[in-house]
Amino acid sequence: MPDWKALYPFESQFLEIPRSETTADWVKLHFVQKGDGEQTVLCVHGNPTWSFYYREILNQVSDVARVVAVDHVGCGLSQKPQRYNYTLEQHIGNLARLIEQLDLRRITLLVHDWGGAIGLGAALKLPTRIERLVILNTAAFPPPYIPWRISACRWPWVGEASVRGLNLFAKAALSMTLNRLDRLKPEVAAGLIAPYHNWESRVAIARFVQDIPTRKSDATWQILSRIEEGLAIFKNRPARLVWGMKDWCFRPECLDRLEKLLPQAKVRRLDDVGHYVMEEAAAEVIEELRSCLAEPIS
């Protein structure tokens, strides 16, 4: 097995959060941090990644800001309870609790994939703590479509067996998310899937896929609608949209929709980059992030 740990030399920290509002049971939420600047960069990952995805941000931006990267419950090095409310609403609440418990302020929110909905949902709960937005391929609104490759992972029995039993979702992502690169370095590929090594550890991967809403009556659809409606609160804050234009999942029409919601955002289109933007274009993301951090607040 390639040595991925050398790429992730950060000290693990854990926050205990309630399993639910009605129980005294707790689960452990994992995060790492580096730097101690006045500003905070909060990195929020999607599915099926984890804080490892943001290792270059931790290494290269911590000279100008405190960088915090979190693992959602069920992901990365966080606890992976088998019976848990793996929903968008729960993940938003967990992230908001971490922000409050760590007393994070002057936050630049860096989000990707499901991290967009989770991060922006938490931002709407705590808007005075958010100064800037840097958004990679994601959606903050009900899905305008569901790619067939994602839909197949939702099929009863077959989807669960494929995602959790054969690890096809996470393994396929190692190649299907790329365009600029032919393949990831072995140690990078190993790091991305390291926490997802058996049926139990892949529970959140499956639940994220199952939580994609298909009807307006779905609770997650309604939450996404509220996030979309609420984004106007950030229309005067510095923002960047950095987009891999070869992403078959969050296609360019998702970028177009976010541009309308955040008309002040400066946009950088990466014409040869796929979904894993941090793996193919870390230098470009870091350049835009640093530029956003330096932009004055009006």
Quote the pLDDT of residue 62.
Answer: 98
State the average pLDDT for the chain: 96
Share of the chain above pLDDT 70, in %: 98
Quote the pLDDT of residue 22.
Answer: 67
User: Tens digit of pLDDT for each residue in 205-261?
Assistant: 999 999 999 999 999 999 999 999 999 999 999 999 999 999 999 999 999 999 999
User: Tens digit of pLDDT for each residue in 19-43?
Assistant: 876 666 899 999 999 999 999 999 9
Helix (H), strand (E), coil (C) string for the chain: CCCCHHHCCCCCEEEEEECCCCCCCEEEEEEEEECCCCCEEEEECCCCCCHHHHHHHHHHHCCCCEEEEECCCCCCCCCCCCCCCCCHHHHHHHHHHHHHHCCCCCEEEEEEEHHHHHHHHHHHHCHHHEEEEEEEEECCCCCCCCCHHHHHHHCCCHHHHHHHHCCHHHHHHHHHCCCCCCCCCHHHHHHHHCCCCCCHHHHHHHHHHHCCCCCCCCHHHHHHHHHHHHHHHHCCCCEEEEEECCCCCCCHHHHHHHHHHCCCCEEEEECCCCCCHHHHCHHHHHHHHHHHHHCCCC
Give the integer Cα–Cα distance in Å for 281 and 243: 10
Q: Which residues contact 267 (CB under 8 A, 6 or more apart)?
A: 240, 241, 243, 255, 259
Domains of the chain from N-terminus onward: 8-144+216-294 (3.40.50.1820)
User: Tens digit of pLDDT for each residue in 152-178?
Assistant: 888 777 788 999 999 999 999 999 999
